Amino acid sequence: MTSQADITAEITAIEADYQRSGVEETQPRRDYPPYRSSILRHPTKDLHHADPETIELWAPCFGHRDVDPLEADLTIQHSGEPIGERMVVTGRVVDGEGRPVRHQLVEIWQANAGGRYIHKRDQHPAPLDPNFTGIGRCLTDADGGYRFQTIKPGPYPWKNHHNAWRPAHIHFSLFGTEFTQRMVTQMYFPGDPLFALDPIYQTVTDAKARERLVATYDHDVTSHEWATGYRWDIVLTGSHRTYMEPQPASTDRDDA
């Protein structure tokens, strides 16, 4: 089985090549062999240029019919308190022009404090927490803001190579104002010693871009004798829709 040293050497070589290239990358590479599962799952042909048209210039609409406000609190989904460090993660979702993405769906999922997912495929022998499922949803507010209360997830081992560990992270699923902005990503915590070793975090070859995946500890979000606080703002890829276009029919939003 491949060692961490082998994986780290591959990561280091790719980053050195990237730095020599002088061309800035801001998104992960899909072809990133240190993340072994990517080898057969990345396109080998260039992505084809497309100008977004009609349906692609709009995003699905979600409203209060879809999301209960209580779903933003991952600590109250069972009869007892989950184990671990209670924390709040909050931030804004904006487009490439800095405009807030309003009243749009944010979904998160994560491991528990012990680094275990409730997913049946997770066989890591860390304890499940009967009081923690690890999924949350909310709608952004009029300023693009979101806020979840949860438990800080633990790091966990995986099978990419021998002694492989993922840095603690929360998965985020995001929609924008147009379908072309759809994305799924992961939020990490500052100063994680596993960053340099992790071939998923390192799929983003640019150090500055990687830092955009890392939340900031914010003592103003931390609350007295209750929860620590982290802030993480999310920028979606640029928006093309101009405000000159006609509104679509039947905008029976229940979250206006």
Partner 1 sequence: MTLTPTPGQTVGPFFHYALPYDGDRDLVPPSTPGAIALHGTVYDGAGAPIPDALIEIWQAAPDGTVLQQPGSLRRDGWTFTGFGRASTRRDGTYAFSTLVPGPTEDGAAAFFAVTVFARGLTNRLFTRAYVPGDEAALAADRLLASVEEDRRSTLLAVADAYGLRFDIRLQGEDETVFLRFPGH
Give catalytic residue positions: 117, 156, 166, 169, 171
Q: Is 255 in the site for partner 1 (CB under 8 A)?
A: yes
Asked if residue 236 lies in contact with residue 101, where contact means CB atoms within 8 angstroms, the answer is: yes
Q: Is 250 in the site for partner 1 (CB under 8 A)?
A: yes
The Cα 120–Cα 245 span in angstroms is 46
Q: Is 44 in the site for partner 1 (CB under 8 A)?
A: yes
Cβ nearer to partner 1, comparing 87 with 187:
187
Stretch binding partner 1 (CB under 8 A), from 2-10, 79-87, 127-135, 147-155: 127-135
Which of 8, 18, 33, 56: binder of partner 1 (CB under 8 A)?
Answer: 56
Q: Is 2 in the site for partner 1 (CB under 8 A)?
A: no
Q: Count CB neighbours of 106 within 10 A.
A: 25
113 closest CA partner among 150, 72, 163, 73:
150
Q: Is 107 exposed, middle or buried (0-12, 13-18, 19+ CB in 10 A)?
A: middle
Binding pattern for the stretch 162-181 against partner 1, x by CB under 8 A and - elsewhere: ---------x-x-----xxx
> Residue 163 is encoded by which pair of tokens?
């002694």
Q: Is 182 in the site for partner 1 (CB under 8 A)?
A: yes
* Total binding residues toward partner 1, as defined by CB under 8 A: 87
The Cα 228–Cα 170 span in angstroms is 15
At closest approach, how far in Å is the CB of 138 from partner 1? 12
Stretch binding partner 1 (CB under 8 A), from 12-20, 64-72, 76-84, 147-155: 64-72
The Cα 121–Cα 130 span in angstroms is 17
The Cα 130–Cα 43 span in angstroms is 40
